[in-house]
Structure formats: C-alpha cells, structure tokens
Amino acid sequence: MSRPRVFLGALALSFLAVGGAEAQPRRRRFRRTMPRKLPTKKPEKKKPEKPKKPDRWFAVHAGWVHTVSGAVRRDVTILAKNGKIFQIGQDLEIPKKAEVLDAKTKHVYPGLIAYSSYGIVGFSPADSTDVFGLNLVMGLSAGLTTVGSGGTIAKLTYGTLEGHLVGRAPRLVRISYRDSRSKRRTRASFEKVRAWMREMRAYTVKKSRGDKEAKPPKPLSGMLASYHKLMQGQGYASVRASSTKAIRDVAHLALKYGFKLQISGGTEAYKVASLLGRVGARVVVVPRGRPFSWGYRPPGMAKLEWSIENAAILHKHGVQVVVMPRQRGIGTWGLAGNDLFTLPLEAAFAVRGGLSQNEALKTITLNPAKFLGVADQVGSIEVGKDCDLVITGGDLLHYQTLPQWTIVNGRIAYDKQKDSLLRHVRPRDLQKGKNLELPQLWPRPKGSKQPEMPKREK
C-alpha cells in the first residue's frame, strides 16, 4: 500500500513544482501551453562616463623570438597593448603613438621568473617594495621580471607600482616526512583521512537508499582537511627531500594516497627519476649540487651524491623541473654566481648536464610560472600574455651574455646603456662619447656657463 501513496506523493510534488507559489492557469502536464512571464528589465541607470585612458602601445622589432612554448621565430615584431602582447608577426601595423624598440639583431626571451626570492621586492610588496632599489635593478639586469616572494608574486616594475602585484602564490600543503616519528604521524593522518572518506562514502550510500538514521561523519578540520583536499587532487603537497631514501619514501606515499607532489631540494632525485615520473611529481632543483650554501655537513646527515645531470634525467622521465640557484636573493657577498643575479647560468649548468636548450629555458620561465599558478599570464611569449621580455645580443644561457633591455608590462624597465651598473661592460653600439651619458653636475662640465655670482660690496 505504500506504492500508491508514493505515486500520489510524486504527482502532488510535480504539480507543486510546476505551479509554484503563483496562481497559474491549469495546464496539461509536461507541456507548456502558456508562455512563461519573463521578468521585466529595470531601466539601467546611466553611470557618468569616465574619460577613457588612451591605449599604451609598445613594439619590439626582433631578430629572434624564443617563445619557449613554441618555435623560435625569426625577424618578427612583437606588438603590445596596455602591457599585454597583442600581436606577433611581420609587417604589423604599428600605431603612431607606440614606443618602438629596434632590436633587429637581438634575441628576445620571455622574462625570467624566480620561483622564490627575498630582498628583491619588499616584505609586503604592496606597501614596501623599493621600486628604485638596487636589488630590483640588479634583478632586472639579470633578466628577472617576476619573482615569488613569501606568498606573493610580484613583478620587477622599475619606477612604478602599476602592475607590480601579480597575485598570491598557491598554498602548498607542507608534509613532514623525514624521520621515523614524522613519517608515522603523517601516515597516520593520511589513514585517518582515508577512514573518514570511507565513512563519508558509506553515509552517502545509506542516504541514497533512504536510510533516515544515517549520520554524516564529523567534518575534518585543520591539517586533516588540507590532506583531504590533497587526496581529492586539489593542490600540491610540498616536501623537502634530498636523499634517495627520503624521496623514494615520499613518492610511495604520494602513490598510495593519490596526491600531487612537489619536492624541493631533490639532490639525489635523479636516482629515482622513473618513480617520480610515474607519480607525476614536480621538483625544484639546484643544478650545481647541494641546495644549501654552507660547506659544513652536520654529522649524521648522509652524504648526498649530486649529479650535474639531475635536471636532464628528471626531465627525461617526465618530471617538471624548476631551476633555482643556491641563494634566493641578490647579493654581492661571497662567491659570485650563487644567487639570482646569475639565474641563466644555473640553467646553463643544467644544459651542461644534458638538458636541451629550450627545456632549460623552460625551467626558468614557463615552469616557475606553472608552479606559481600564473602560467596564463607570464612565462612565454604568446599573444594574450604579459609583455615581459629580455632582449640580449646573443644566447641568454651563455656566460658572457648580459641583457640589453628588460621589458616589464610593456615598459622598458632596464636599459643597459642608461643604467650605471653595467653600461661600461661591452657597451652596445660603441661610439665615442655617445653611450656614456652621465648627468654631470660636479665638477661642472667643461664649457658650461658659470652661474652669475653676487658681487661683493666694497
């Protein structure tokens, strides 16, 4: 006798669903004969029109354009509108008010991206970046255009705060998996989450069968909630692991619980490259060996066998690699070549280890953009992406190459001949007296008129 009741109940529901709260004329079931009353549009209030800012155009005539995501294009023009790449091609129509840069004999690369840094943009970039700061200028002179700093991603916009902030870096779930205690704890937490997911599934099944006494399990909170998100495939887990055993163990953990893994350190990652490839891991490596800069190895820490072929082997097995130097800042202390001032050199060492040229470029442009979650905006030269370019006279990964111009958001942020830092090193278009434009006030330049002195009264 429950069936007719259920049937009537369904009918009643359908009538109510169709009829709703309004009084509507009776109509045949499942067929609409009366047109539904459409909601009338309110007349839009006219907002006072703001004066439109004129578009800002910027064009670069380039000899070689290394798009990184695609082919190398020869003899093309990159046209940027309001800081974003508008067109790439030959014989483009360039607006009259555009700022044009002639780099017909030069190579153009996408602006370099540092996955993490300190001291270049301010601690809280919106409030404290020194947009004229020395570290910023040195970063630009090395080709850096975007850096991740703390949890924020910012651009090296010299002299202006327009377009400085890009966004927040995606939150990574830190997993501690080093010693036996932390391993036990982490495994226990994942097991807890798995048990909770089983309970949740059981409850869902019971509810769909009509069991009214089914109770959902208590919602997860804190660390367990973030582990749950990981196991659902959202976001990456970040682990510091350098030795083979540590990397292997954490990779097996990722396989078992199905989360995405990002490893930093990764000195011996090449030994378990195939496993990492199967896991779909991402690695932030230092091509030249140990990730920390001090020479002292604490007792008990295993001696790590680093290899220059680390990045190359990882890439061969399908692992996404980001190259970082040992020091994440820019400084003139200690040994040169250890910090972000020589980021292309780090990628060159990866090439030395067997990585291809374009892949090495990717490790300092497109891959850091992907890791930071801004690959739709920066990282390669494509229409629609930001106009962040590095223009060099030769191969960027050559040790003698110094960027000639660095363009951020369609503005020339660094010009090697105008900035005082490196203009004396292999000056561009060397002509006598033309390149060294120093605004000289003291001592007064030869030939300038002496200002009139007040005469002393006798």
Partner 1 sequence: MPKKPVTPKKPAKFVPPKVPDRVKAFMALIQKPDEAPLILIEMSMAHHMVHFEDGFKDRIKAMQPAFYFGRSWRGSDMFRVVDRFGKLQANVVLYPELTFEPYTRTRRNVAADLVKAGAKVSFVPRFDSEREYRSLLPQVASLVRNGLSREAALAGLTKNPAEVIGLGAELGLIKKGYKADLVFLSGDPLAPGTKVTRVMFDGKQSWPETKRKGGGR
Nearer to partner 1, 298 or 454 (CB): 454
Q: State how far the Cα of 273 lies from the Cα of 286, in Å rounded to an integer.
A: 15
Q: Please report the DSSP string for 210-263 in residue order.
A: T-TT--PPPPP-THHHHHHHHHTT-SEEEEEE-SHHHHHHHHHHHHHHT-EEEE
Nearer to partner 1, 41 or 456 (CB): 456
Sort 421 into a burial class: Cβ within 10 Å, 0-12 / 13-18 / 19+. middle
CA 204 to chain centre: 39
SS (H, E, C) 269-334: HHHHHHHHHHHCCEEEECCCCCCCCCCCCCCCCCCCCCCCCHHHHHHHCCCEEEECCCCCCCCCCC
Nearest to 390 by CA among 367, 370, 365: 365
Nearest to 110 by CA among 375, 423, 398: 375
Torsion angle in degrees (nearest 10) through CA of 367, 277, 348, 113: 10
Q: How far is the CB of 77 from partner 1 (least distance, A)?
A: 31
Q: How far is the CB of 440 from partner 1 (least distance, A)?
A: 7
Binding site for partner 1 (CB under 8 A): 16, 127-134, 159-161, 420, 438-442, 444, 451, 453-457
Nearer to partner 1, 165 or 220 (CB): 165
Q: How far is the CB of 367 from partner 1 (least distance, A)?
A: 31
One-letter amino acid of 227: Y
Nearest to 245 by CA among 275, 222, 220, 225: 275
Nearer to partner 1, 42 or 458 (CB): 458
Q: How far is the CB of 396 from partner 1 (least distance, A)?
A: 27
Q: How far is the CB of 216 from partner 1 (least distance, A)?
A: 20
Nearer to partner 1, 1 or 438 (CB): 438
Nearer to partner 1, 30 or 132 (CB): 132
Q: How far is the CB of 316 from partner 1 (least distance, A)?
A: 45
Nearer to partner 1, 218 or 449 (CB): 449
Q: What are phi and psi of 319, to 5 degrees?
A: -95, 135
Nearer to partner 1, 33 or 448 (CB): 448
- What tokens does 429 get? 């278009």
Q: How far is the CB of 195 from partner 1 (least distance, A)?
A: 34
Nearer to partner 1, 129 or 307 (CB): 129
Q: How far is the CB of 238 from partner 1 (least distance, A)?
A: 32
CA 321 to chain centre: 13
- The label of the residue with tokens 């739709």 reads 376
CB-facing half-sphere around the CA of 52: CA atoms within 13 A: 4
Q: How far is the CB of 281 from partner 1 (least distance, A)?
A: 40
Q: State how far the Cα of 272 lies from the Cα of 66, in Å rounded to an integer.
A: 32
